[in-house]
Chains A and B, each alone.
Chain A
Amino acid sequence: MIIENVMAAFAEITTIKTLLLMLVGVAGGLIAGAIPGFTIAMAVVLTLPFTFGMPPAQGLATMVSVLVGGLSGGLMAGILTGIPGTPSSVATTFDGFPMARRGQPGLALGIGVWSSFCGGIISAILLVTLSPQLARVGLEFNPWDYFMLVVFALTITASLSGRHLIKGLIAGVVGLLVRTVGEDEAVGMARFDFGSEALLSGFDFIAVLIGLFAFSQLLRDVRDPVAARKSLTEKGTVQVRIEHRAAIREVVKRWTIVLRSSLIGVFTGILPGAGGSIANILAYDQAKKASRHPEEFGTGIPDGIIAPESSNNAVEGGALITLMALGIPGDVTAAVMLGALLIHDVIPSPTFIAEEPVLAYSIFISFFLATFMMLGLQSFMLRIFVLVTKVRMYMLAAIILGFCGIGVFAINNVESDLWTLLWFGILGFIMRQLGFPLAPMILGVVLGNIAELNLARAMAITTDISPFFTRPWSLFFLIIAVFSAIFPIYQAQMGKRKWTLFYMPAACFAVSIPLFMMGGIPRPIIAAIVIATGAYILWRRARNGWRLDAEPGQNYAEGG
């Protein structure tokens, strides 16, 4: 049965038209990822309108291709100009740029490309193997658990806003509020329409996403009139040849870094809210800590390119695992992918892979193929990248805004979506200027319906709210939501306040409770290991006399 489905999916993807669209998608993604200020999410968002008229498998394959290309595109700008093309390639510049300046740009690019390839393939393998397993776990979820999972996703996304935690939470809640406008999905009553026809039909969430994300980002990029008239990168780029053979040798020699960083990437991707921007720095930091010569990091060594590049390409595999298995997007890019699925009348859930196996395998296969295409296209796109760097920012912004003006209309063929785009563009721009992170708001908009529908289902089963706190999975998500909300405060106070010494042990003990409640054999074993870890941390701190200075602070951004 699986082989039949894989073959059917393979046949869907390997049509000439789909393969050509994928090639264009990977090429577009590589260029978009290479342009500083142009994020991968923006590239995927802008691709969405083009996929409306395509069959689901073809449309999703195109979007996956843009995604894979975008993940790898950032390394070109980072290595050749020292300016990371995307936040997920920040750490690549720490060693990539020094190596290029030392006269080895071809080797640096080669290492980056092959590390990206390996990260992508490892995460694709994990995507194929873990998604069905996680979906099986997802089948245990009831409405209470789903509701709490959404709460957790929003909380952890907001907590990643660091010192802007409250602003992050406010942004997430505003996102939820935006989704309540119009007829409610449960009983069809009008809410917050204020007598307006346009408001009665609610805000199309793709228009909201494009407005919040693409529109506001572009306006930020052209705010300074002088900078807007400059080329995308003022630092000159040189034509180079990628040294594939030497790069493969370097990457194979350091396979442990590739594997570890890819796993970090996949795990970061699985976590809602955490994305490539965190994974690349985390992987770089871990590679540095594990190295025998940490002092060489930042001087232009292969390890410093391999770690971030394999991790950032592995992230989206992780994000897709959560999306395909649970229907919960791991990050903004996955949220857009969710939008694409919904547009094609596909609702990801734990039963998605079982009910739509051909489509699910099409996504897996396109992820694999796109990774190979990225490898082949990278050398060619390098030449295009040199040309793209000559484009002025204001030109790019005007063209993309023009595209938004046409593309967003195509979603539902109604003009009100264009007004939604404008109003949310203004809102997103103002929020950015006021220091509100947009990622929680976008996730709020995407997850608002899921939360409300599950709340309605839970209330339909029983009006008793205790299952939110007594069901194992619901309690599990609630506990990690609470601890993730406190995490930024813990991080800021670490080494200064006594209570921070108890944060990790308390988290371990608390999380073990629902794990024990889940029953069976593996989960109580995991709970026992978690408790033992908490007890060990507590014992170590007691042995140190509860001294605050004995706990070294974490510092991820040490490179460069």
Chain B
Amino acid sequence: MGRLNRDAVIAIVLLMACGILFWSTFSIRVPDYGQLKPSTWPRVILAALSFLSVLYLVQSIRRGVADGTAETGDKSDDEPGPAPGLVGWLVYWRNPIWCFGLFFVYLATLPLLGSLIGGLAFVFTLMGVMGGWAPRNMALHALLALITVGGMWSIFTFGLGVLLPPGEIFSVY
């Protein structure tokens, strides 16, 4: 059997996910009342998703492995893809990875730092990793972070009366 293309792999992953979720619908409690069981609608959806995934798989296999990566999403044809290997992949996707990673850190430290300090640190650091750490840039990034995050925090806290997480260490509000 030849190498599967990317779409075929996605279809198989979808089918596996459908199987797991379908199996988990049997653990949904059924009450004595109501005509539509709580598991019926998810099962209808999973049946439809499984059917579409099979169609997707067949379509992908028919297309074969000739096109390698199969249908591309946002990437235009003339845009170079990532270099081979893990390092090439990491370099290619470094900005989105930084965004996700730093947002994850922001969320993980939110109870500790709070939304003001955490937000400032997040925006400043993200600008730094994507825009560079030259002194001039850092000053500009710090200013922008202060104005925008500080402004938004003030609007929500004082203008809209939303109690944002204050944080354990720097209990600002």
- A170 adjacent to B130 (CB under 8 Å): no
Q: Does A473 contact B (CB under 8 A)?
A: no
Contacts of A192 on B, CB cut-off 8 Å? 21, 24, 42
| B52 contacts A229, C-beta separation under 8 Å | no
Interface of chain A residues 150 through 190 with chain B (CB within 8 A): 164, 166-167, 169-170, 173-174, 176-177, 180, 184, 186-187, 189-190
Which size bracket describes the interface of A in this complex? 35 or more
In the bound complex, do residue B153 and residue A432 qualify as a contact, i.e. CB atoms below 8 Å apart?
no
Tell me if B35 and A459 are in contact (CB < 8 A). Answer: yes
Choose among A52, A169, A415, A434 the residue with the greatest number of B CB atoms under 10 Å from its CB: A434
Are the CB atoms of A432 and B73 closer together than 8 Å? yes
Is A535 at the interface (CB under 8 A from chain B)? no
| Interface pair B99/A219, CB less than 8 Å apart | yes
A406 engages B115 (CB within 8 Å): yes
Chain A residue, CB-CB nearest to B31? A187
| Chain B binder among A282-290, A422-430, A520-528 | A422-430
B48 with A173: CB separation less than 8 A: yes
Whether B94 contacts A225 by the Cβ 8 Å rule is yes
Residues from chain B with a CB closer than 8 A to the CB of A392 are 131
Q: Are A434 and B10 in contact (CB-based, < 8 A)? A: yes
CB proximity to B under 8 Å, residues A203-240: 218-220, 222-225, 228-229
Report if A435 contacts B (CB, 8 A): yes
Contact B156 A229 (CB under 8 A): no
The residue from B45, B71, B130, B159 contacting A398, defined by CB atoms under 8 A apart: B130
| Interface status of B29 (Cβ within 8 A of chain A) | yes
Q: Bound state CA distance, A435 and B71, in angstroms?
A: 7
User: With contacts A177-B45, A186-B38, A394-B130 known, is A415 near B119, CB below 8 A?
Assistant: no
Q: Is A387 an interface residue (CB 8 A)?
A: no
- Sorting the interface of chain B by its residue count into under 10, 10 to 19, 20 to 34 or 35 or more gives 35 or more
Contacts of A403 in B (CB 8 A): 148, 152
User: Does B163 lie within 8 Å of A413, measured CB to CB?
Assistant: yes
Q: Report the separation of the CA atoms of residues A118 and B7 in the bound assembly, to the nearest whole angstrom.
A: 45
B127 and A395 contact, CB distance less than 8 A: yes
Chain B CB within 8 A of A191 CB: yes
Known: A50-B160, A405-B106, A463-B35. A225 touches B56 (CB 8 A): no
B74 on the interface (CB 8 Å rule)? yes
Main secondary structure of the interface of A (DSSP, over half): helix
Q: How far is the CA of A431 from the CA of B14 in the complex (A)?
A: 12
- Would you give the shortest CB distance from B151 to chain A, in whole angstroms? 10
Does A545 interact with chain B (Cβ within 8 Å)? no
Task: Answer whether A189 and B35 are a contact pair too, CB < 8 Å, given A166-B56, A395-B144.
Answer: no
Q: Which of B36, B96, B149 contacts A223 (CB 8 A)?
A: B96
* Among A186, A392, A406: residue with most chain B CB under 10 A: A406
Min distance, Cβ A354 to any Cβ of chain B, angstroms: 29
Q: Is the CB of B131 within 8 A of A395?
A: yes
* Contact present for B99 and A401 (CB under 8 Å): yes
A49→B144 CA distance, assembly (Å) = 21
In whole angstroms, how far apart are the Cα atoms of A433 and B7 in the complex?
12
Complex Cα distance A435/B72, Å? 6
- The verdict on A419 contacting chain B, using a C-beta distance below 8 Å, is yes
Closest to B25 in A: A191
Name A189's closest neighbour in chain B (CB-CB): B38
28 A-B pairs with C-beta separation under 8 A:
A53-B160, A174-B49, A191-B39, A194-B24, A220-B74, A223-B96, A225-B130, A394-B95, A394-B127, A397-B126, A398-B122, A398-B126, A399-B148, A402-B148, A402-B152, A403-B152, A418-B110, A419-B107, A422-B100, A431-B73, A433-B74, A435-B73, A436-B73, A452-B41, A456-B34, A456-B36, A460-B34, A460-B35
| B interface with A by C-beta (< 8 Å) | 6-7, 10, 14, 21, 24-25, 28-31, 33-36, 38-39, 41-42, 45-46, 48-49, 52-53, 55-56, 59, 71-75, 79, 93-96, 99-100, 103-104, 106-107, 110-111, 115, 118-119, 122-123, 126-127, 130-132, 141, 144-145, 148-149, 152-153, 155-156, 159-165
Other A-B pairs, 12, CB within 8 Å; known A451-B41, A455-B41: A170-B52, A173-B49, A173-B52, A174-B49, A191-B38, A229-B132, A395-B141, A397-B99, A401-B126, A403-B152, A456-B34, A456-B35
